């Protein structure tokens, strides 16, 4: 699903990623771990084509991201759902509108918006809060809204950038259960995290990045486990 071929990204003379080779299959659940500034954000930005690779090729499915014209970037991003640590909800829109907004963008009819949004809200378990505003919700509930928004257009990949970073442990596990559920429906999930406990318990594939290089790639890994 995601493939990096000899990808290098330089920021001036600083290394973002250097000679990264990586392949993530369809339906996988992958943790991306490493210290701050190791290159995790660079990885995500390259995949979204927010920045250009200095060298190498990146593929999403059959699409070569590195070759994509600016005009086609929006189409690429519709195929990638993103969840952020800080949720990034629009404060002046209700829960329903925050999710519907992602469908507006791809010009869905209001009839299908009215049909699909409640399904997504019920999937993440916040149907009854549809008409409330983000500031009226708890952090965990806000993250659920942002997950509903990220999957509303059925992306084939979901990127979660420290989705549990702002949540207490119990709420964090609720969010993890939700991500597993989404993964079981066939969506590839790449989760960037520092949450050792979660990574250790989940026993999923763990890719470690340090100073722009992949230092480990374990199929059923733990957070601090060097081979």
Partner 1 sequence: MFRAAVYSVKQAFKQLIRNKNMCTASIFSITSMLLILGLFFILIVNINLLATTAQSQFDTIQLYLEDDLGEEGIYEMENEIQKISGVDTVTYINKEEALVIMKSRWGNNGYLLDGLESNPFPNSLEIKVTNLEDADSVVARVKSMNGIEDIKYYQSIVEKLLNITDFIQLAGMILIFVLVIISIFIVANTVKLTVTAREKEISIMKYVGATNWFIRGPFLVEGIIIGLIGSGVSVAIIDFLYKKITEAFAEEAFVMFSVELVPQEFLIHHLVWIFISLGVGIGSLGSILSMRKFLDT
Binding residues vs partner 1 (CB under 8 A): 48, 50-51, 74-79, 82, 88, 90, 101-102, 104-107, 109, 149, 153
Q: How far is the CB of 1 from partner 1 (least distance, A)?
A: 17
CB of 107 to partner 1, least distance (A): 5
Closer residue to partner 1 (CB): 25 or 74: 74
CA distance 92 to 99: 13
Q: Which is nearer to partner 1, 41 or 218 (CB)?
A: 41
Please, which residues bridge with residue 1 across strands? none
CB closer to partner 1, 60 vs 198: 60
Nearer to partner 1, 23 or 119 (CB): 119
CB of 106 to partner 1, least distance (A): 7
Minimum CB distance to partner 1, residue 92 (Å): 9
Look at residues 127, 145, 141, 147 and name the one whose alpha carbon lies nearest to residue 189. Answer: 147
CB of 108 vs partner 1, minimal distance in Å: 8
Nearest Cα residue to 148 out of 114, 172, 117: 117
Specify the residue, 82 or 202, whose C-beta has the smaller distance to partner 1: 82
Do residues 152 and 145 lie in contact, with contact meaning Cβ atoms separated by under 8 Å?
Answer: no
Own/partner pairs, 125-134, CB within 8 angstroms, 24+ separation: 125/178, 126/95, 129/95, 130/94, 130/95, 130/96, 131/94, 131/95, 131/96, 132/94, 132/95, 133/91, 133/92, 133/93, 133/94, 133/95, 134/87, 134/89, 134/90, 134/91, 134/93, 134/95, 134/98
The Cα 110–Cα 2 span in angstroms is: 33
Contact 148, 87 (CB under 8 A): no
* Shortest Å, Cβ 113 to partner 1: 11
Q: Which is nearer to partner 1, 75 or 115 (CB)?
A: 75
């Amino acid at each position: 699903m995601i493939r990096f071929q000899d990808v290098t990204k330089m920021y001036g003379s600083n290394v973002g990623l250097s000679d990264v080779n990586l392949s993530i299959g369809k339906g996988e659940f992958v943790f991306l771990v490493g210290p701050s500034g190791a290159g995790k954000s660079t990885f995500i930005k390259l995949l979204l084509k927010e920045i250009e690779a200095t060298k190498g090729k990146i593929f999403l499915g059959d699409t070569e991201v590195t070759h994509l014209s600016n005009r086609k970037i929006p189409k690429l991003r519709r195929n990638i759902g993103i969840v952020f640590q800080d949720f990034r909800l629009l404060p002046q829109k209700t829960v329903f509108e925050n999710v519907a907004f992602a469908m507006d963008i791809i010009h869905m009819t209001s009839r299908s918006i009215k049909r699909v949004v409640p399904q997504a809200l019920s999937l993440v378990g916040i149907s009854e809060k549809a008409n409330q505003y983000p500031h009226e919700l708890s952090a965990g509930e806000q993250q659920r809204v942002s997950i509903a928004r990220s999957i509303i257009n059925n992306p084939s990949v979901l990127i979660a950038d420290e989705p549990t970073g702002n949540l207490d442990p119990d709420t964090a596990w609720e969010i993890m259960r939700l991500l597993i559920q989404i993964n079981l429906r066939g969506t590839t999930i790449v989760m960037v995290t520092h949450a050792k406990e979660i990574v250790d318990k989940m026993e999923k594939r763990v890719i470690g990045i340090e100073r722009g290089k992949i230092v480990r790639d374990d199929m059923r890994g733990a957070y601090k486990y060097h081979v």
